[in-house]
Chains A and B, each alone.
Chain A
Amino acid sequence: MLEALSYEFMQNDLIAGVLVSLVSGIIGSLIVANRMVFLAGGIAHAAYGGIGIAIFTGIPIFLGTSLFAVAAALFMAFITINQRENIDVFIGLTWAVGMAVGIILVDLTPGYNVDLLSYLFGSILAVNRDDLYFMGLLFVVILFVITFWYRDILAVSYDSEYAALSGINVKFFYTLILVLSALTVVIAIKVVGLILVIALLSIPVYIAQKLSSSLYSMMLISGIIASVFTLIGLLLSYSFNITSGASIILVSALSLMLFMLFTKLR
């Protein structure tokens, strides 16, 4: 096990796992607090359209996926703000159409036999330097945004009606949270895949919510819990040669069950 840590690819994986976990803890807290889990799930699946576009046109995967996911997030924000009644229809629509676009574009790409599974369930073993830079950059941007606008984001997340009354631009912050969620989904695809990302964004947050008394501590605790789940999952994935995303999610789900059992018994 320890000798594995001396390989560069393994070090990259661990760094990526921790970075993605910390980001997921912060953004996942906002997603859960704002009841956007289904929305974030929609964006995650729609992001496959971006993967398809990137493969078809030959632009970098991260870039294509990011642009497409952010576009999906902006669309979702627009719909949520202006069409509240039909929101779930549009989420479902974006969810499915995004994936359909991706699948067809991959079909149409000549001679490209894409490993669909690695995007659906994570391919952390293929993390490279550029990926790490992108993850690091996003982590810094998110830290900056949260630090600078903490109280506005807190107010919007807790009680958006009152926040609007007190003069906070609720639509701006709502859109900002969705765009950051989209970018988080993009980096998390590398680690757990787009189908499983929603579990990484919500399970650690659910546990942290019970343990914390402020949004700030919920973000921190979620990040730490997610990191632990990811590291254990990665080591299991390496030891038993199983898919990284799936092992991380199972570790998370089992821990959640134990946590719930423990809190019930206490």
Chain B
Amino acid sequence: MHKSKKKAVIEVKNLSFAYDKDLVLEDVNLEIFEKDFMVLIGPNGGGKSTLVKLILGINPLQKGSIAILDKSIRKSISQIGYVPQNTNINLNFPIKAIEVVMMGKNSQKNSLFGYKKEEILHAMQLLEKVGMKEFANTKIGLLSGGQRQRVMIARALYVDPKILLLDEPTSSIDADGQKQIYELLKELNKEITVIVISHDISILLEYASKVAHINKKLSFHDLSSIKNIETKSDHICEVELLQMLGKCKC
């Protein structure tokens, strides 16, 4: 029996999706393998968020299939750690970072008011992992954008997922913060699959192992070919890169 080296953790087949009659995704095929660092790019309205919602099971499937770790989509929600796009919600809300982390899992009942010791311990370990341990008891609204994003990553990791899915993780973070977030993701990628939805193409070459471009249709790129492109300067401009990824037929 032939065994492939890597296992597909997400397998999207012939997926199409339309809002009313507007086709947003057309015949999308995508395979994501274990420990990939996958970046999904594409223009606004190109269907990135729709694909995320389909993978998470927020939107119902219309046509095609999505297999996550070889199981049906409904059961697999807990296998994907999700970091939503907007993490600047409810900043006045009186809640500590560690409480946000423990929201990662719908608590089993009967833990009136408080949190169980093992939950607190687990959350603290995750906060340490993302470098936010000393802020565990800080109000979430008092953290910087980058710090808050780390807490949200810890929340996504709370279910011990095999896959981490981030929607525009650096959209509201300063340059230093962005770099740190990607370094953190690189570190996490040693153990789990990371999927990032992003406009932020400049970081691609440094961190991503695979890139897919979505604009209704999905085109897939092996990054090695991009890395080999000869440019007159050492620098590849973001615009050139975006155009190239959108146009090429590979």
Contacts and interface: CB of A to CB of B under 8 A. Distances in A.
Contact of A162 (B92, B93, B94, B103): B103
Q: Chain A at the B interface: mostly helix, strand, loop or mixed?
A: helix
B104 A166 contact: yes
Contact of B58 (A151, A165, A167): A165
Contacts of B224: none
Interface string A136-155: 00000000000110111011
A163 interface: yes
A154, A162, A164, A168, most chain B CB atoms within 10 A: A162
A3 interface: no
B105 A166 contact: yes
14 contacts: A147-B113, A151-B111, A152-B106, A158-B90, A158-B95, A158-B103, A162-B155, A165-B77, A166-B103, A167-B77, A209-B94, A215-B93, A215-B95, A217-B94
A154 B95 contact: yes
Interface in B111-149: 111-113, 137, 139
Interface of A: 33, 147-148, 150-152, 154-155, 157-159, 161-168, 209, 212-218
Nearest to B80: A165
Nearest to B95: A158
B78 to A, nearest CB: 8
Secondary structure of the B side of the interface?
loop
Contact of A214 (B77, B82, B96, B105): B96
A159 B103 contact: yes
B112 A214 contact: no
Interface in B144-182: 155
A152 B107 CA distance: 8
B113 A213 contact: no
Contacts of B93: 33, 157-158, 215
Nearest to B158: A166
A215 B94 contact: yes
Nearest to A161: B84
Interface string B76-104: 01000010100001101111100110011
A150 B112 contact: yes
A150 B105 contact: no
B19 to A, nearest CB: 15
A154 B102 CA distance: 11
B211 interface: no
Contacts of A161: 84
B95 A166 contact: no
B172 to A, nearest CB: 16
B40 interface: no
B56 interface: yes
